[in-house]
Chains A and B, each alone.
Chain A
Amino acid sequence: MGRERPRLREVVVEASRALARLDTGRLEELALSCQALNREMAEADRGRRVELAVESREAQGDMAVFARVLEATRANLHVMNRLKELREGRLEYGGAQTRLMRRRESGDGDN
Chain B
Amino acid sequence: MGTINAALGIMSGALDADQQALNIVANNVANANTPGYTVEKPEWQQNSPITIGGISLGQGVTETGAESQRDRVLESRLDQQKQMASASGSRLTALNTMQALFTPDSGSSSSKAGDIGNDITNFFDSFSSLEVNPTDNALRQNVLSTASMLAGDISNAAASLNSQRSALNEETAGIATQVNALTGAIAQLNQQIMTDSPNGDAGTLEDQRQQDLSQLSQLIGINQITTENNGLAITTASGQLLLSEGTSFQLTTGQANGMTDFYLGGTDVTSQLASGGGSLGGDLTARDQDLTGALSALDQLAYGISTAVNTQNNAGQTLNGVTGSAATPIYIFNQPAAVDGSAAHMSVVMTDPNDVAAASAASGTGDNSNAVAIASMANQGIVDGQTPINFYSNFVASLGSTVSTVETENTAQNASVTQLQTQRDALSGVNLNDEASAMTTLERSYQAASQVFAMLNTLMASALNLGDQTAVS
Contact = CB atoms under 8 A, between A and B. Distances in A.
Contacts of A68: 408-409, 411-412
Nearest to A101: B46
B415 A105 contact: no
Question: Which among A24, A69, A79, A80 has the greatest number of chain B C-beta atoms within 10 A?
Answer: A80
Contacts of B467: 49-50, 52-54, 56
Interface in B433-462: 439, 441-446, 448-453, 455-460, 462
B57 interface: yes
Contact of A41 (B46, B459, B468): B459
Contact of B414 (A18, A20, A41, A53): A20
B459 A15 contact: no
Given A37-B455, A70-B449, A73-B446, A53 B411 contact: no
A52 B459 contact: yes
CB-based closest 8 A-B pairs: A53-B467, A20-B415, A68-B412, A27-B448, A108-B56, A72-B416, A34-B455, A52-B463
A63 B456 contact: yes
Nearest to A98: B46
A8 to B, nearest CB: 7
A95 interface: no
B444 to A, nearest CB: 5
B447 to A, nearest CB: 9
Contacts of B51: 108
Given A23-B445, A110-B56, A49 B463 contact: yes
A97 to B, nearest CB: 10
A49 B453 CA distance: 20
Given A31-B448, A35-B455, A56 B463 contact: yes
Contacts of B34: none
Interface of A: 8, 11-12, 15-16, 18-24, 27-28, 30-31, 34-35, 37-38, 41, 46, 49-50, 52-57, 59-61, 63-77, 79-80, 82-84, 86-87, 101, 104-105, 108-110
Nearest to B84: A72
Nearest to A59: B460
A16 B459 contact: no
A15 to B, nearest CB: 5
A56 B416 contact: no
Contact of A109 (B55, B74, B419, B449): B55
B404 interface: yes
Given A79-B77, A84-B439, A105-B49, A28 B448 contact: yes
A76 B416 contact: yes
B443 A76 contact: no
B74 A83 contact: yes
Contact of A19 (B56, B445, B455, B466): B445
Contacts of B407: 65
B30 interface: no
B464 A70 contact: no
A53 B466 contact: yes
Nearest to B467: A53
A108 B409 CA distance: 63
Interface of A is mostly: helix
A38 B74 CA distance: 39
Given A52-B463, A56-B464, A67 B446 contact: no
Nearest to B408: A65
Contacts of B413: 72
Given A8-B460, A19-B415, A53-B466, A67 B453 contact: yes
B55 A108 contact: yes
A100 B458 CA distance: 56
Contacts of A41: 459, 462-463, 466
A82 B463 CA distance: 39
B96 to A, nearest CB: 16
B73 interface: yes
Contacts of A65: 407-408, 411-412
B203 to A, nearest CB: 20
B195 interface: no
Given A28-B448, A73-B416, A79-B74, A22 B422 contact: yes
Given A19-B415, A20-B415, A38 B73 contact: no
Contact of A24 (B54, B415, B441): B441
A70 B449 CA distance: 7
B455 A56 contact: no
Contacts of B457: 63
A38 B460 CA distance: 9
Contacts of A70: 446, 449-450, 453
